[in-house]
Structure 1
Amino acid sequence: MKVCQIMAGDEEGGLENHFVELSNGLLEHADSVIAVGHAKYRERFAPGVKFIALDLSGGRRNPLLLVRLALILRREAPDIVHAQANKAVEMLARIRALVPGYHIGTIHNRKKSTGMFSHMRTVIGVSKGVVANLNHPDLRVVYNGMKAYQGEALGKAQLASRFGLDPAVPITLSVGRLVPTKAFDNLLNAWQPEHGQLIIVGDGPQRASLEQLIVERGLEGRALLAGFCSDVRGMMSAADLLVFASHREGFSYALAEALLCRLPVLSTRVPGAEEVLPEQHLVPVNDVPALSAALTAVIADLPATAQAQDELFAWAAKVLTVEHMVADTAAIYQSVPGQSAL
């Protein structure tokens, strides 16, 4: 079986990791794997993956890009064409009459516009929440999986020393791009000095406004923006809690990382988190007082918070791995009409 993965983005995050790791993992399940995406990702693919560089980050209605994509797919003639996320799915939908193979789209986040998925024969969601309102005859769910961490697991003293913090005071992490959907402004407005110390890991266009908010709220020394950190998994080993204030998610890679590190999580009620976290560790979206109260409760008894998620940590160790994600995806390919066993 020949499988082709398509991604239209050019950024760095969970989608991009999913695209690369799924393509590489499928080498053990398919006769041939092709990946079509931006040239910047070329070196991340295993030698067995046939990578075809095509910058699809421009307009999804660009006729030149659509023609180039159609020509590539007609030339390669894959059995399975699997588009990752809304933009790639919409582009595949626009050229579907010209493209051979069985068409699959994966939805990575809950968005208002999902009509393009109606043109896919099978739709995969990275959580139950992202496909909950989608009307389609063949919906599947495959959770994001993480590679085993190969880096250094930091101790709490190391983490505190790096950022000039007190190792005797609780340290909470929050991870994500500094963009409105992550609602870091809500998190900072919910944060109180008695909650301890907050490290926000990530970068983005809201950095300046968030720095100003830290000053306005008098949180210097209690909240800081760490920027991009390549060793987030190592930092999680030393932290006491991970918190999400997001307006929306699909199934956050940071959530998976935390659970695999046995780091307790508090989150707004977004897809992914709402499916796996205990009810007492979920708060309404965009409710700053509720988030603040929940932070007070969980930080007051961190051992109890961890104990309440103990079974979840065990589940994550089995399910939230790249191997499990790849195997589940390969099983879907095998199950579709007209395809023989992989």
Structure 2
Amino acid sequence: MTNDVCFLIRAFSGGGAQRDAVLLANGLAGLGRSVSILVLDANGPLRSLVDPRVDIRDLGRGQKLKMAFALPAVRSAIADARPAVLVASEASGNVLAVAATRFLSSERRPRLVLREVASPMQAKTTDPYIQNRLAYRLAPWLYPKADLVLALTEPVRRDLVQHFRVLQERAVVLGSNAVLTQSKDVILNALNRDVEPDLLVAVGRLSKEKGFDVLLSAVALVKQNAPVKLVIVGEGPARPDLEAQIKTLGLRDTVQLVGFQNDPGVFLRRAAIFVSASRHEGLGNAIIEALAWGLPVVSTDAPYGPREILQNGRCGELVPVDDPEALARAITANLGRPHDERVCKERAADFTVENAAKAFLNALNLQGISFH
């Protein structure tokens, strides 16, 4: 069987990078392309998001196939699928894809597209997955071998060129990301908010780079002057530390850690403000989802993504990273402040699955990458 595009994904239990890849695959299938997903671990909630038109190839055969032992299975799957284009995401997947396509004959080798979904200069030391941190050490030698490396922001594109040896002409800013499954019309016309005026919502993996420790400190400051509640949606290794901090700050009646949720919209539709306290980002998908609900956003000016999404503050307020006092002031100022929901929604509509799929195909076309 021959595919136009194969996506290499670490796991269906993964986070933003894997979800983006699944939605982009769906978008390409919706545009009539033959698409398959090669996945090392096919168990997880993201599997239910895969479009029926997308072929799933479970390389672990029901088990979790570790990245370190995946090379033979990936090479075999590529030989079977014979894709015109192989797309990988996140550092470990990118390195694996380069290794799997090395030394293939020109007739069998697909054109290789890597998606850099993080801020690599920060992630190479702080990524929560050790395989990604190790992969970034190899990236300066392997990333340049790809036909195209896609970045989500211009600063990341510059990092790829300056620090990871990617040729200028092969490093491209995609300009969109597959975040929202709704159409632009649905986003602009949705009227199903039920706002609680004192509710803050934050969404993300409970890990150091998301800055939830700073957010908790900021909420403690806000609470001194205004009634406020905070719901944090997400799961991760920092949960015990955050629970201890909540207790220390006396926030047990103020803050809820509700864990991973398939549909954060259950909480976003009730929120007065969406808050992001990240120390660094690949883009900031949760910010986009909040804008789609018409929510006012307060975010750190983290590298990279929030400033680009919020258009230098036009669609939300930016504050310095690791500054709970500034974050608290911005939250307090935005509680009850009128804002233009349509501006938020119009910006979010730039990040639909359809837009991302079209931008992806355009990037391939500009590089002279075609299908069979």
TM-score by length of 2: 0.78
AA partner of residue 358 (structure 2): A
AA partner of residue 302 (structure 1): R
Corresponding position of 2:246: 214
Corresponding position of 2:305: 272
Of residues 297, 304, 308, the one that matches 2:333 is: 297
1:70 counterpart = 2:98: no
Of residues 178, 189, 206, the one that matches 1:178 is: 206
2:116–2:149 contact (8 Å) kept in structure 1: yes
AA partner of residue 320 (structure 2): P
Corresponding position of 1:147: 181
Corresponding position of 1:161: none
1:93 counterpart = 2:127: no
Q: Shift in Å at residue 152 of structure 1?
A: 10
Kindly tell me the number of residue pairs found equivalent between the two proteins.
Answer: 323
CA separation of 1:57/1:297 partners in 2, compared to 1, >3 Å: closer, same or farther?
farther
Q: Shift in Å at residue 294 of structure 1?
A: 2.3
1:105 counterpart = 2:114: yes
Of residues 154, 175, 180, the one that matches 1:128 is: 154
1:232 counterpart = 2:264: yes
Q: Shift in Å at residue 154 of structure 1?
A: 5.4
Equivalent-residue separation in structure 2 for 1:24 and 1:276 (angstroms): 23
Structure 1: runs of 5 or more not aligned: 157-166
How do 1:191-340 and structure 2 match up within 5 A? 191=219, 192=221, 193=223, 194-195=225-226, 196-270=228-302, 271-277=304-310, 278-279=312-313, 281-299=317-335, 301-303=336-338, 306-307=339-340, 311-317=343-349, 319-337=350-368, 339=370
1:154–1:234 contact (8 Å) kept in structure 2: no
CA separation of 1:22/1:126 partners in 2, compared to 1, >3 Å: closer, same or farther?
same
- RMSD in angstroms over aligned alpha carbons? 2.7
AA partner of residue 326 (structure 2): A
Equivalent-residue separation in structure 1 for 2:368 and 2:327 (angstroms): 46
CA separation of 1:233/1:152 partners in 2, compared to 1, >3 Å: closer, same or farther?
farther
Equivalent-residue separation in structure 2 for 1:152 and 1:188 (angstroms): 30
Equivalent-residue separation in structure 2 for 1:152 and 1:108 (angstroms): 32
Q: Shift in Å at residue 204 of structure 1?
A: 2.1
Corresponding position of 2:31: 29
2:18–2:89 contact (8 Å) kept in structure 1: no
Equivalent-residue separation in structure 1 for 2:80 and 2:243 (angstroms): 51
AA partner of residue 204 (structure 1): G
Q: Deviations over 1:111-135 (max 9, x none)?
A: 2324242221111123334333110
1:123–1:139 contact (8 Å) kept in structure 2: yes
Q: Shift in Å at residue 147 of structure 1?
A: 0.9
Equivalent-residue separation in structure 2 for 1:31 and 1:295 (angstroms): 44
Q: Shift in Å at residue 72 of structure 1?
A: 1.4
Structure 2: runs of 5 or more not aligned: 125-135
Equivalent-residue separation in structure 2 for 1:57 and 1:200 (angstroms): 29
Identity of aligned residues (%): 26
2:206–2:239 contact (8 Å) kept in structure 1: yes
CA separation of 1:73/1:109 partners in 2, compared to 1, >3 Å: closer, same or farther?
same
Q: Shift in Å at residue 175 of structure 1?
A: 0.8
Equivalent-residue separation in structure 2 for 1:92 and 1:153 (angstroms): 42
Q: Secondary structure at the match of 1:242?
A: strand
1:146–1:253 contact (8 Å) kept in structure 2: no
